[in-house]
Chain A
Amino acid sequence: MSVQGFATTTSAVTTAGSGKARRVKQSLTSPWATAAAILIAVIWTIPTFGLFVSSLRPAGDIRSTGWWTVFVNPSFSLENYESVLFATGASSANLGSYFLNSFVITIPSVVFPLVIGTMAAYAFAWIPFRGSSWIFVGIFALQIVPLQMALIPLLQIFSQALGISGTFPAVWIAHTIFGLPLCIFLLHNFISEIPRDVIEAARVDGANHTQIFFRIIVPLSLPALASIGIFQFLWVWNDLLVALVFSGGTADVAPLTQRLAEMVGNFGRNTHLLPAGAFVALIVPLIVFFALQRYFVRGLLAGSTKG
């Protein structure tokens, strides 16, 4: 973190602070700070807003004029959405099929690591055994290892030993593996905070690990599972690299991101389809994000305050 970087963006704060001793609460909320905040908010929002407006314009307009001209001569149509989703033919976007693939890929890729991760997290937190700490730290370290390190050999395992390369199970397993370290780490942080009394009481009543797991750990971990689940959902839904390597890249298995990346590759020909196409891909994560923002933020904070 460079001090110099700070100086450039916080000039607004310094000018703001020269005023009289107001209440601390309002110390930094001066007109300058407000103006800077609004400016940042606008810069951050306009790109997405512009794409949304574009997606609703007739194909010819997208190619010939900028989206801001709709404020002068408004003309809207849904034809782009219709053609990216439903048009059939060799050169069509065919996003309907890829949209389905994204769901088929994402649901198991969220469920599998959560289940396996909760089991492992419980064991690391509550079943004492030799080497437990070391293995846990090792798993934590794996979370940071770039997945590029694993791609080539894992692909070889899938294609040669298992023969599942280019199928849904290959993508599920790959996502499960790559998601596990973070899932285990975050869930462990949460599960190890469950009061010891609760678990001791169950043990005294004669419950074994399986029973404790289903009756205590899973119900109590639901908030954490929700946060981490959202994370894994966004990560899998938005992923391109894993999909490119393991899905085979056809309409049979590949997700939306893969098809969109392909369409951008021929930007000139697809100019009018891309805004609608991108929005089809954005809409699901945006709904998830706005509906479950609370859990999402909580998950983020849990992951980082401990790390």
Chain B
Amino acid sequence: MDDLLGKLGVLVIGIVAFAAVVGVVLFLADKAPKRGRDFIQLLAFTAPAIILLLVGLVYPALRTIYLSFFDRRGENFIGLRNYEWMFTQPEILTVLGNTLLWVVLVPTVSTVVGLAYAVFIDKSRGEKALKALVFMPMAISFVGAGIIWRFIYEYRAEGFEQIGLLNQILVWVGAEPQQFLVNSPWNNVFLIIVMIWIQTGFAMVLLSAAIKGVSIETIEAARLDGANAWQSFWNVTVPAIRPTIIVVVTTITIATLKVFDIVRAMTGGQFSTSVIANEMYTQTFVRTEFGQGAALAVVLFIMVLPIVIYNVRSLAKQREIR
């Protein structure tokens, strides 16, 4: 009970303090003297966001790059040795390889399954409910998903009653039960399936909306020209929804590169299943190797960088057109 009241107290104080600060800032902006009022008001509106982003993202990102050239405590400059370490340690090379596997499999499979599903259920009866079923994992935390799938993959030695569905199915068809999360390298694939399970709904919802935006006339014209369903899908629908496909693939790719929770909750990175984000956490906060952790974060950033540049360029183009 004390626990409850204390925490609710913190919550109320936090919200009230925040409202007071914002209120005072906007009130002062409102009452600013005529001279320079525009500038003061501009400052009042943008400064909170810009200060937070500078202090909380821009400076830390730059500092992480800086730290990646220093030793574990950030005291002595050691040049590229953290990066050298990364690309020579067999375990870290496995981590990099795993990350690549994730980045190749998750966006492709999620997008393909999501698109196929969106097409299959398009304009069918109960479309909304069918969508909700596949979309639902989006609302589930990665940790929750990790637990759900731990039970699917759970292993009991042969001869004992299985409590994991997948092994039970293996037993039913007469095969030997497997330790899905232990046997490398296939255990990576079983972790990746969890991410695909989550991301497919995202792909499906966006692609479904895009498909509905393709004009029926174009498709009908193609059909009159003698194209079959597959041809008109491949030659008319897919090119029309290409921008959405790109958005879906890049968004899922970024999410996949950063994936941490699934690995953390399911294997903790053991049995050669670690990925960059998880390894970065382990190095930094478990082994307190700040330099090596920072170097891993920088590599993650470099992997995302092409997507950042691509998106920024298309955004800049869009704003010019406006």
Within 8 A of A (CB), among B3-53: 3-4, 7-8, 10-11, 14-15, 18, 22, 26-27, 29-30, 37-38, 41-42, 44-46, 48-50, 52-53
When distances are taken between beta carbons in the complex, the residues of chain B under 8 Å from A104 are: 7-8, 10-11
B residues 46-68 near A (Cβ < 8 Å) are 46, 48-50, 52-53, 55-61, 63-64, 67
Q: Once bound together, how far apart are the Cα atoms of A272 and B26, in whole Å?
A: 53
Total A residues in contact with B, Cβ cutoff 8 Å: 129
Contact A238 B15, beta carbon cutoff 8 Å: no
Q: List 7 A-B contacts (CB under 8 A).
A: A29-B124, A107-B11, A148-B300, A149-B60, A180-B49, A209-B29, A240-B265
Distance between Cα atoms of A40 and B134 in the complex (Å): 8
- Chain A residues lying within 8 Å of B144, measured Cβ to Cβ, are 238, 257, 260, 278, 281-282
Chain B residues with CB under 8 A of A210? 26-27, 29-30, 41, 44
A146 and B14: CB pair below 8 A? no
CA distance A267 to B164 in the complex (A): 13
- Most chain A CB atoms below 10 A, which of B117, B307, B316: B117
Contact of A290 among B121, B122, B132, B234 (CB under 8 A): B132
The answer on a CB contact under 8 Å between B318 and A306 is yes
Residue contact B119 to A13, C-beta cutoff 8 Å: yes
Q: Is the CB of B18 within 8 A of A305?
A: no
Pick the residue among A13, A119, A168, A281 that contacts B230 (CB under 8 A): A13
Q: How far is the CB of B26 from chain A (nearest CB, A)?
A: 5
Besides the known contacts A45-B136, A150-B57, 18 further A-B residue pairs in the complex with CB atoms under 8 A apart: A17-B231, A24-B220, A26-B123, A44-B197, A45-B133, A62-B163, A66-B165, A108-B11, A123-B42, A142-B53, A144-B311, A149-B57, A184-B49, A211-B30, A289-B139, A300-B206, A301-B206, A307-B311
Report A75 CB to chain B, min CB distance, Å: 15
A residues adjacent to B (C-beta < 8 A): 1-2, 5-6, 8-10, 12-14, 16-18, 21, 24-29, 33-34, 36-37, 40-41, 44-48, 50-51, 54, 62-68, 97, 100-101, 103-104, 107-108, 111-112, 115-117, 119-120, 122-124, 127, 129, 133, 135-137, 139-142, 144-154, 157, 168-169, 172-174, 176-178, 180-181, 184, 208-211, 213, 234, 237-241, 244-245, 257, 260-261, 264-265, 267, 274-275, 277-278, 281-282, 285-286, 288-290, 293, 297, 300-301, 304-307
Contacts A66-B162, A145-B304 given; does A34 touch B45 at CB 8 Å: no
- In chain B, what residue has the closest Cβ to A209? B41
Is there an interface contact between A119 and B49, defined as CB atoms closer than 8 Å?
A: yes
Which among B84-92, B184-192, B290-298 touches the partner chain? B290-298
- Chain B interface size band reads 35 or more
Contacts of B294 in A (CB 8 A): 152
B266 contacts partner chain A, Cβ-Cβ < 8 Å:
yes
Cβ-defined contact, B136 with A289, below 8 A = yes
B235 close to A (CB within 8 Å): no
Chain A residues with Cβ under 8 A from B220's Cβ? Answer: 24
Bound form: Cα–Cα A282–B147 in Å: 11
